[in-house]
Amino acid sequence: MARTLGELAAQFGCELIGDPAVSVSRVATLSNAGEGDLSFFANKFYRDELRASRAGAVIAREADAEDCPVPVLLSADPYLTYANIAALLHPAPPLAAGVHDTAVVADTAQIADGVQVSPQAVIDEDAVIGENVFVGPGAIIGPRCRIGDESRVLANATLVQDVAIGRRCIVHPGAVLGSDGFGNARSDTGWVKVPQVGGVRVGDDVEIGANSTIDRGAIDDTVIGNGVRIDNLVQIAHNVQIGDHTAMAAFTGVSGSTIIGKRCMFAGQSGIVGHITICDDVIVGGATMISKDIDQPGFYTGSFPGEQDREWKRKVARFRRLGELADRVGALEKSAKDQD
């Protein structure tokens, strides 16, 4: 889907340095791009690659344009402009509307126009599938699930039951939405399962990564706001609420009933305990455990970077003897005081 630089400059509001008749048809990295390829420069780390690039054109900030030997589309935010142009050059493949012969669709399911149901998919009783939805191969859409227009539920993903997702969402392969929450009551003879009867409600423009899991609510629903981005292998427990445009990287785990604000960002392997509230605009570092409410926006961390084992073990040993060190300081203070 080729576009001239002139067309792109006009459509995305970029000033163009170079020939507007040059056309690009796909994206490439600075190093690998050649004629017809569009690249971008957003990380100063790659300045050498910029200088040597043979791309058809590069999206860059004005200040970096002089280092670029090929045509430049100027942007105050090259990565964002790149994202928008890349979506134009590489659109999602068009749907082939229809239900594959091997798919199973319940009589009571409603399927709107333009929907593609792939091989081996299952759409169960009372499911409601919006227009131009893609249901991938092997995907299971359980009873009473609702999928908004133009969403895509990819291969082998499962919406267990009572899961409502909004428009233009992507549920990546293997993700499971609507599984039972981890609700167990203790008895003298062991755990008693607490029935999980809530659903999952997902807003518009949400992505849920491969093999991630979002549990149904225990009673009320688990709620994912609009524009939320969830990476692979993330766990969202029952009755969690996640505010609009929050993003969570892989292995983030959110325990039950926790409420997370808008525009938060969680780096990989972060964990949030249950029944707490995190305000808007909180950023949590990698491998950090959040154990109580956060009511101030900002950056929160709690992890140590790894280092050479011998050196780390030495530090841990000192950490363990901190009490002894404090005692020695106390003794010195006492002795100093006695001398006064």
Q: Match 């233009």 to its residue by tokens.
A: 168
Helix (H, G, I), strand (E, B) or coil at 217: coil
Nearest alpha carbon to residue 160 among 131, 127, 182: 127
Among 15, 79, 108, 293, binds a second copy (CB under 8 A): 79
Is 202 a residue that touches a second copy (CB under 8 A)? no
CB of residue 57 to a second copy, shortest distance in Å? 15
What part of residues 4-63 is at the interface with a second copy (CB under 8 A)?
26-29, 32, 45
CB of residue 149 to a second copy, shortest distance in Å? 17
What part of residues 214-233 is at the interface with a second copy (CB under 8 A)?
215, 219-220, 226-227, 229, 231-233
Among 73, 205, 243, 264, binds a second copy (CB under 8 A): 205
Query: What are the distances in angstroms from CA 61 to CA 6, 78, 80, 93?
Result: 17, 6, 12, 31
Is 289 a residue that touches a second copy (CB under 8 A)? yes
DSSP string, 272-288: E-TT-EE-TTEEE-TT-
Nearest alpha carbon to residue 151 among 104, 86, 203: 203
Q: Please say if 275 is a catalytic residue.
A: no
Give the distance, in angstroms, between the CA of residue 298 and the centroid of all CA atoms in the same chain.
19
Is 2 a residue that touches a second copy (CB under 8 A)? no
Among 22, 97, 194, 276, binds a second copy (CB under 8 A): 194
Give the whole-angstrom CA distance, residue 294 versus residue 34: 48
What part of residues 86-145 is at the interface with a second copy (CB under 8 A)?
86-87, 89-90, 100, 102, 104, 118-120, 122, 124, 136-138, 140, 142
Give the whole-angstrom CA distance, residue 11 versus residue 296: 39
Q: Which of 90, 100, 238, 245 is catalytic?
A: 238
What part of residues 231-260 is at the interface with a second copy (CB under 8 A)?
231-233, 235, 237, 244-245, 247, 249-251, 253, 255
The H or E element containing residue 318 is: helix 309-320
Active site residues: 238
